A and B are shown apart, each in its own frame.
Chain A
Amino acid sequence: METIKLTINGVEVKVNRGTTVLEAAQAANIYIPTLCADPDLEPYGSCRLCVVEIEKIRGLPTACTTPATNGMVVHTETPAVNEVRRTSVDLLIANHPMDCLTCRQNQQCELQQVTAHLGITERRFPRTDQAFPVDTSNPFFDLDRNYCILCAKCVRTCDEITGINAIDLAFRGYSARVATFGDKPLIESTCKSCGECMVRCPVAALTPKETRRPIHEVKTTCPYCGVGCQMYLGIKDGQVITVRGDRDNEVNGGHLCVKGRFGIAEFVHHPERLTNPQIRKNGKLAETTWDRALDEAAARLGQYAPNEVAVIASAKCTNEENYVLQKLGRAVLGTQNIDHCARL
C-alpha cells in the first residue's frame, strides 16, 4: 500500500493512502476531539468537533471526513478551530443534564471529556424545558433521549454494523430525535437487542440497566453458538456482572449478539444451579458427597459389558472434557458407543 507523509502540528506523520486526517492524528497520538467518529463506522462529520485548519484548504474541514494527502499541513489547535469547537459544545450542553456525578456514564462520557478538554466551565446558553420520557421497554438497556447529542452513532451502528435498521433520526430541527418506526417503544420495534448501539453511545442516552462496574475482566469465549465470539467477562465480588466484546480478534472484532452480551450472568448465577451430587434413593434424588457419588458412578458403570453401555458427550463442554469422556468410554468402559448432539 502506498505511504504518504503529512505534517500535523509540526510533526511529520506517515500513513497509508486512504487514511483520514483524524486517523492520521490518532496514529501519531495527537488528540482531536470528536463525538461522532467511530473506527467501525463510516465518516459522518456531524458533531463538528474535529474541525482543523489545513494549509491551502479553505474554511475548517472536519478531520474525520477529509482524506490525508501527501504534503498536507494540518493544525489541530488554532484559535479559530477552538472557537468553533467551543460553540459546538456550548450548543450540545445547552440542554444536556448536568447530573454528571450520578450519571450512568460518569467518567466514561465522551461529552464530559471533550468539555474538559476545551476548558468549558459554565453553560453559556439557557436551558429549555424540553423533556423526553425515558424508554425503559428493553429488558437490558434504556434509551434516555434527554442525554442524546444526535451524533447518530446508534443509528449508523444499526445500519452499517448490524443491518437491522431498527432506529433512525426522526423529526426535524429542535424536535429531532432517535426513533423507531412509528416512534414506538424499542421493545415493539425490530430491535434485536444486540446492544451494539449502546456500546458506541458517547453519552448516557443508551446505557445498560446493569449499572455496576467490574473490578477486573477475564477474556474468554462465548458459550452460545458456534461463532466463538471473544469476550471479556467483567467481575465484581466473585460475580460476572458485565460482558464486553473483544475488539482485537478476527472472529467477532468486538461484536456480540443479545445472548452473548446480556444472556450470561443470569444463568451462571442462577439459584437453581446444581451445587451438590445427588443420588436416587427410594425413587427420589437426594444430596450426597462427592466420594459416595464417584464410588457409585464407578461401581455402576463397571457392571456392564461394552455393548450395554453408552456415553453421550457434549457440544457445550470443552475439548478437554469431551476428550476425557470419550477416553473413559473407549479405554475404561470398552465401548465405541460414544456420541454427542452434533446432529441435533
Chain B
Amino acid sequence: MTNTISDVGDAAGILAIGTNTTEAHPVIGFEIKKAVRKGTKLIVANPREIELVRHADVWLRHRPGTDVTLLMGLCRVIVDEGLADASFIAERTENFDSFKESLQNFDLDSVAQTTGVPRKKIDEAARLYATNAPAAIFYAMGIAQHSHGTDNVIAVANLAMLTGNIGQPGSGVNPLRGQNNVQGACDVGALPNVYPGYQAVTSEAIQKKFEAAWDCSLSAKPGLTTTEIIDAAHRGQIKAVYIMGENPVLSEPQARHAEEALRKLEFLLVQDIFLTETARLAHLVLPGVTFAEKDGTFTNTERRVQRVRKAIEPPGDARPDWWITCQIGRKMGDRGFTFTSPPRIMEEIARLTPSYGGITYRRLEKGGLQWPCPTTEHPGTPILHTEKFTRGKGQFVPLEYKPSAESPNNQYPLLLTTGRSLFQYHTGTMSRKVKGLNVFLGEELVEINPRDASALGIADSDVVKVISRRGEVTAKAKVTAVSPAGVVYMTFHFAESPTNQLTNPAIDPIAKVPEFKVCAVRIEKKDTRLD
C-alpha cells in the first residue's frame, strides 16, 4: 500500500476494484464500511455481488478480464469532462500527452460494450472518484492474477495520477497483500530477480555487495519463479527443491501438472507444520513451528514490520524454521549461518537492506515500523511518494485492451474465476484444522447463476463436475445471483475439490502471475447414482 490502514477514514472517495475486502482482509473491510457510514463515497468494481456492493454508491459489474478497459474508460470520462488534476499532472508526472491520445481508443460506447457496464454508471463512477478528493484505490488479486495483470496495475496507477490521488492521507494506490507475510517475504529477497530490499540481481554493484557480505560468489542471472520452477521440474531440469511452508500441489495453477512435476524430483525437502498435500510427496519432511512458538517479524500490507513473539513451546521435536535452515547451512559448511536468534538475523537484514536499515527488535518493542526506514533515527514512512515518485516523475503509460488467455467457447461455455472465503485461508492447512470454521464453509461450493443453473438442470447443492482443458473437479453447486450469468466462482481452499487443477497457467509476461481469475470451463451435473 502507498498509504496506511489508519487513514482509510480520511478518504472522501474509495474505489475497490478486484478486492473482496470483507472476505480476504476483513478488518480493512470494517474500516471501509466505517468510512462509508461517515460519508465516504464508495465505488465497487467487481463481477460478483460481494458484500461491499451493499455499501457502495456505484457498483460496476464488469466482465472478468476487462479491468484495463474499465479503468481507461474512467480516465476517458475524467479527461473529457475536465476533472483531471492539471497541476499534479504538470508537476509530478510525464508522458501525459501520449496517454491522453491513447484514450481516444477507448470510445465510451465500446468501453460499455466490452465491460458490460452501462455507460451511465461509468460516467457516474468517474465523476464520483474524481470529485471526492482525497480518493483511495484498493485492489487485490482481482487486478493482479491476469495474463495482463501488469497492465491492470498500470491502469490503476494512471487513474490515481490523473486525479492527483497520490501522496496524501486518504489517497493512494493500495494493493492488499493476501497472506500474512507476503510483503515481508518479498522485502527480504524471497524472489528470483532481487536480493533483499528489491536490489536487482543483475546489478554488478549489488552483486559485489552481497558477495562481500556473504563471502561467496553469486549469479547475476535472475532465477525462476515458482510456476517456472514447477515447469522446469516437469522437464527434468530442476532435480531438487527445498520448500518451506508452501503447498504448491493445491496453490499452483494447473495443479495436477505441479504434482506430477514434484513427483519427478530426485530430492524434495518440505519443511512445514502439517503433512500437507505437498509434504506427502517429499523425500525429507522437517517439522517447523507455528507463529505462536517462535520469535520473528511479519511485514503487513501497509509495509509495517511487526513482532511475532514466542508464546508457547513447540510440540515434540519441532523446531523454528530459521533454526532448521541455519543448521542446513552450517552442515553445508557455510559460516554465514551462525545466528543464535531472530534478532541477530534482523541485524544482518538491516545491514544489507536499505529500506530496513533502521529496524531493530528494540525499536519494534514500541510498535511496528513502516519501511522505508533507512536509519535507527528514522520514524518510518506511513505514506509513500509524498514529494516525488521513486523514479522521480510518475510515468503515464498508454494501454490497450488485451483479452484473457482463454475465453469461453462452445465446448467450455462458462468463465471460472477464483477467490478466497473469510472462513478459510489459502490451501486450508491451518484453517481447515479448526472445526468451527468448517461449520461456516467446510467444502468447496461452485457458485453458479440461477440462469445457467436452470439451463443445465442444476439445483442448489447438486454435485457437479467442473471441467476445463486441464482437468475436472467435483463439488457441490451453490445457485446464487452473486455470480453473474456466464461466470462461475470457486475458492481454492479444499484438497477434495482442488480448483487449481482447472486454472490456467498462462502468466503475465512481466510479473509472472498466473491467470487465476479467468479460465473457460463447462459444468455437468454429476449423476450420483453411478457412484
Contact = CB atoms under 8 A, between A and B. Distances in A.
A342 B25 contact: no
7 contacts: A226-B182, A252-B27, A266-B435, A293-B286, A301-B242, A317-B244, A318-B308
Contacts of A270: 274, 433
A285 B240 CA distance: 18
Contact of B346 (A140, A266, A320): A320
A204 B90 CA distance: 61
Contacts of A163: 29-30, 33-34, 36-37, 55
B65 to A, nearest CB: 17
A320 B310 CA distance: 14
Given A218-B309, A229-B27, A311-B241, 19 more contacts: A139-B435, A218-B311, A221-B298, A224-B180, A230-B368, A235-B311, A251-B302, A263-B436, A273-B274, A297-B331, A298-B328, A310-B229, A319-B181, A319-B299, A323-B189, A327-B337, A328-B332, A330-B195, A343-B227
A256 B513 CA distance: 30
B244 A314 contact: yes
Range for the number of chain B residues in contact with chain A: 35 or more
Given A220-B291, A279-B284, A315 B244 contact: no
Contact of B287 (A249, A275, A330, A332): A275
A308 interface: yes
Contacts of A269: 315
B425 A225 contact: yes
A274 B312 contact: no
B179 interface: yes
Contacts of B481: none
Interface string B381-407: 000000000000000000000000000
A256 B27 contact: yes
B237 A320 contact: no
A239 interface: yes
Given A226-B178, A240-B312, A335-B223, A300 B267 contact: yes
B254 interface: no
Contacts of A344: 226, 248, 251-252, 514, 516
A224 B425 CA distance: 7
Nearest to B438: A139
A238 B312 contact: yes
B308 A220 contact: yes
B436 A322 contact: no
B191 A226 contact: no
Interface string B122-158: 0000000000000000000000110000000000000
A309 B433 contact: no
B325 interface: yes
Contacts of A225: 24-26, 178-180, 425
A82 interface: no
A193 interface: yes
Interface stretch (B70-78, B113-121, B159-167, B316-324): B316-324
Contacts of B468: none
A114 interface: no
B329 interface: yes
A233 interface: yes
B301 interface: yes
Contacts of A336: 192-193, 201, 218-219, 221-223
Main secondary structure of the interface of A (DSSP, over half): mixed
Contacts of B102: none
Nearest to A137: B439
B186 A342 contact: yes
Interface residues of A, number: 105
A302 B242 CA distance: 12
A218 B291 CA distance: 12
A120 interface: no
A89 interface: no
Interface string B504-531: 0000000111101000000000000000
A221 B298 CA distance: 7
Contacts of A306: 219
Closest 5 CB pairs of A and B: A275-B316, A228-B300, A318-B296, A163-B33, A336-B223
Contacts of A335: 219, 223
Interface string B257-283: 000000000010100111100011011
Contact of B27 (A255, A304, A310): A255
Contacts of B57: none
A210 to B, nearest CB: 10
Contacts of B245: 313-314, 316-317
B238 interface: yes
A124 interface: no
Contact of B251 (A302, A332, A341): A341
A228 B179 contact: no
A341 B300 contact: no
A192 interface: yes
B246 interface: yes
A300 B239 CA distance: 11
B514 A343 contact: yes
A312 B246 contact: yes
A297 B5 contact: no
A162 interface: yes
Contacts of B348: 323
Contacts of B337: 324, 327-328
